[in-house]
Chain A
Amino acid sequence: MMALVMVTAFMVATMAGCKSTPKDADLKTAVETAIQSSPNLSASGVTVDKGVVTITGQVTDEASKDALAKAAAAVPGVKSVVNNLTVEVAKVEVSADTPLALAVKDATKDFPTVAATVNDGIVTLKGELNKGDLQKLMMAVNALKPKKVDNQLVIK
């Protein structure tokens, strides 16, 4: 095992010494350029050790995490990528119940057959409504930053 490690280390060192291999510092710059344009990445860091790139930072979703690792791996000269990005989902902003309830009251005022209640950010719609009015009502309620819209309306 030890011998294998030493052989591997020797090979890596030899390859890094080849003339055609980009320098780690150049790779670092190229990888930074490749990934830092992503709007979903923050607090990023790139380190390169003998062509092996380690990327750190926070992304907003899993898809960005994978995409950025691929972008780093696609930089010429990069041997492999250690993906240490973490997914940090920003908390969704939800209105407090009191202003939300007032806003829901305003939004549903023109739909007298609809009874709306608000509890813990969840807007529950009960009663009945014509299908033609449903989209307009949903647009208005969705714009109020609710946590969820529980539509129990009977659609006529």
Chain B
Amino acid sequence: MALQEKYKELVDAATAAGVNDLNVREQDGVLYIDGATSGAVKQQLWDTYERLDPNYASGDLVMNINSVAGVPEGAKLKVTTNSSNLNIRKGPSTNDDIVGKAARHEVVTLVGKENDQWWMIKTDAGEQGYSYTQYLTPVE
């Protein structure tokens, strides 16, 4: 119960923001918060988490807020890598060969979702393969 107190502001914010399928439960000293929402709300919740637990140092919360669940096939995605090009791979893992690259800030098209981490994308140049969703941001 103590963890629910510590992160009460976070859970309240998620509830107030109308996060879909919000699920909060505590097990073995870790609080789990799951749900789906927009990218903006996800950012807000993570900023709150960081404020309540500076540098995420306590290891007492696992927060999985999915902001890309509702992105449909055919959607346009912007490549948001830190600086480098985004690898496009033959299969959904970094063990798979690189079959192409997308430049930073290039806009690509979502072809299909393998899982929450790997999506099949296609570039305007026609290169198609799997890329890591962490570096893809839906163009809104």
Contacts and interface: CB of A to CB of B under 8 A. Distances in A.
Interface on chain B toward A: helix, strand, loop, or mixed SS?
mixed
Contacts, number: 69
Interface stretch (A17-25, A29-37, A99-107): A99-107
Interface stretch (B12-20, B25-33, B71-79, B101-109): B25-33
Nearest to B33: A142
B28, B32, B47, B95 — which one has the most chain A CB atoms within 10 A of its CB?
Answer: B32
A91 B27 contact: yes
A135 interface: yes
A43 to B, nearest CB: 18
A62, A90, A139, A155 — which one has the most chain B CB atoms within 10 A of its CB?
Answer: A139
B134 A142 contact: no
Given A60-B25, A134-B55, A151-B55, A142 B63 contact: yes
Contact of A143 (B27, B57, B59, B64): B64
Contacts of B66: 143
Interface of B: 1, 25-28, 30, 32, 42, 46-47, 50, 55-57, 59-60, 62-64, 66, 81-82, 84, 93-95, 116-117, 132, 134
Given A134-B55, A151-B56, 18 more contacts: A61-B25, A91-B27, A92-B27, A92-B32, A102-B95, A133-B82, A134-B56, A139-B42, A139-B46, A142-B64, A143-B116, A145-B62, A145-B64, A147-B62, A148-B30, A149-B62, A151-B57, A151-B59
